[in-house]
Structure 1
Amino acid sequence: MQLTSKRLNPPLADWKGRVVWILGGSSGIGRATAEALYAQGARVIVSARQAPPLREFVEARAGCLALPLDVTDAAAVTSATEAAWAHAGKPLDLIVYCAGHYQPMRATQFDLAEAQRHWAVNYGGALHLLDAVLPMLLAAGNGHLALVGSVAGYRGLPMSLAYGPTKAALNNLAENLYLDLHKWGVGVSIINPGFVETALTAQNSFTMPALIRPEEAARHMLRGWADGRFEMNFPRRFTRWVRLMRCLPDAWYFSAVSRITGA
């Protein structure tokens, strides 16, 4: 298959018979994506720390599986990976790392334990997943690995001292993974949403421009996988400007962000 600048991965459009594992699938973007994929015919495995919403999801959906999981526990991630593969009965078609932790933070109220919690969930958990799934994906020679980042990872933003660096790390990680894995037939994508209405963003005390529902985020993600995209950022009416601001000289960027946010 010839891949274009837009289509950097084999497209995932027909979900009938496919098996998807979503880590962070109990609420928000992860839950909405699980529901959208199931509606398209996929069998969906959902993982998160909280078991009740996972059970509620699978009880109403045949062929799905709940795997309660703390992504900061490496051994638990390995065990869950084995269980997911056994349930699928074949290599997984898509693995989505959507587990996330967010607490607004400024340097003037720095909290080391909270910052470390961000790293453990948002980035360390992704490494635990890679350790468990990469040998299986490489052996299969197919499958797709998606990481959910954020436009907060593009450049520094107010209140994002703990959160933003973890998402920046995921963006860099996804680029490295793509370079290493695409020749082996394994797809990689990074998803960078703007503001999505979830329990995490409900903590924000500021006005969030272009705020969207998780269901809209899921639709953007399914469209991106169908198009074979590497990066998805949405809603574009907001994220295209944030993305372009990465190219500004530092002095211009800091001035613009301070003026726009009042920081």
Structure 2
Amino acid sequence: MNNAKPASRLIWITGASYGLGREVALQLARRGDRVAVSARSADKLKGLAGEAPEGSILPYELDVTDGQATADTVARIEAEHGPIDIALLNAGTHEPVSADDFKAEKLRELVELNLMGTANCLEPLLATFRNRRRGQIAIVASVAGYRGLPTSAAYGATKAGLINMAESLKPECDRLGVKMQIVNPGFVRTPLTDRNPFPMPFLMEPEDAAAALIRGLDGDGFEITFPKRFTYLLKILRCLPYALYFPMIRRATKQ
């Protein structure tokens, strides 16, 4: 694998106002890339641009649940700054859902942002990249999409959907010259994970997680996952039969 620093590129990151997306944007900008950043908060994007080298962060306020606005934003970025080389589709949120208080509306909200918001980005990107026969897309899912976990009935379902979507698109993207990747992080310290009331094994700081994600973008693998010790353990759990899996999860989560 070639680990040399790539030439300056135009990279679009959604969900860039906080957490992992924000840190990835900063690290890419500081190493010389131009980074178009999107989120719903214009103020947070402006603050992010102020922390990076002048002109390296390009803010675009956007709610990815609006399909037309998303397509328009992709067109604006390319009209104003040239072709997008890489898209990191990171916009998403988490909302605990339990059997004690299951609400379909919570699931709908997460589907609209995590799953449909990503699809809204993919539509214009794939059309553009397909015509050029080049481009790179990395979809941020989660290890929560590997198997069902307590309180993750909505979040895990959307992340599993993203993993399946990326897997399904990859063979065709390969044929079209488009590099498709899936990002499955473990626990990363962000405002979302700060809400978790339970211990988070192998919790990563956003700076370390962003560095790992960027190494994956520069690499050739389909899946980018970190921290390895934790995510590989979950991969093993994914292979267990239900008769073993559910008792282990009950003990681990005290359910």
Q: 1:146 aligns with which of 138, 162, 169?
A: 138
Partners of 1:16 and 1:40 within 8 A in 2: no
**1:217 partner letter:** A
Unaligned runs of 5+ in 1: 1-6
| TM-score in terms of structure 1 length | 0.92
Tell me whether 1:217 sits opposite 2:204 in the alignment.
no
Name the counterpart of 1:39.
30
User: 2:29–2:56: 8 Å Cα contact kept in structure 1?
Assistant: no
CA distance in 2, matches of 1:227, 1:170: 20
Measured in 1, the distance between the counterparts of 2:220 and 2:42 equals: 32
Cα displacement (A) at 1:12: 8.2
Alignment check: 8 A CA contact 1:224 1:232 kept: yes
Q: Which residue of 1 aligns with 2:180?
A: 188
Q: Deviations over 1:55-113 (max 9, x none)?
A: 12224431431001001111110111111111322x21110110011111112211222
Q: Which amino acid aligns with 1:65?
A: L
Identity across matched positions, percent: 41
Equivalent residue letter for 1:31: R
Deviations along 1:153-189, whole A, 9 cap, x unmatched?
Answer: 0000011011000000000011111111111111011
Output the CA distance in 2 between the equivalents of 1:15 and 1:39: 13
Superposition RMSD in Å:
1.4
2:101 alignment counterpart: 109
Q: Please state whether the residue corresponding to 2:23 is helix, strand or coil.
A: helix
2 CA distance for matches of 1:189 and 1:48?
21
Matched, 1:162 2:154: yes
**What is the distance in 2 between the residues matched to 1:250 and 1:12?**
40
Structure 1 segments, 4+ long, off by >6 Å, are none
**Number of residue pairs the alignment of both structures matches:** 253
Relative contact order, CA 8 A, sep 6+: which one is greater? 1
Whether the 8 Å contact between 2:32 and 2:56 is mirrored in structure 1 is no
Is this contact kept in 2: 1:15–1:40, CA < 8 A?
no
Q: Does the Cα contact within 8 Å between 1:196 and 1:212 map onto a contact in 2?
A: yes
Paired residues of 2:34 and 2:56 also in contact (CA < 8 A): yes
Q: State the Cα distance separating 1:16 from its structure 2 match.
A: 3.2
Corresponding position: 1:71 with 2:64: yes
Q: Which residue of 1 aligns with 2:246?
A: 254
Distance in 1 separating the partners of 2:9 and 2:250: 46
Q: Deviations over 1:179-227 (max 9, x none)?
A: 1111111101100001111111111111111111111111111111222
Task: Letter of the 2:76 partner, please give it.
Answer: A
Structure-2 separation of matches of 1:92 and 1:51: 21
Alpha-carbon distance in structure 1 between the residues aligned to 2:186 and 2:44: 25
C-alpha distance in 2 between matches for 1:189 and 1:158: 27
1:55 equivalent among 39, 46, 56: 46
Give the Cα separation in 2 of the matches to 1:217 and 1:113: 31
Q: Take 1:86 and 1:57, find their aligned partners in 2: how far apart are those partners?
A: 22
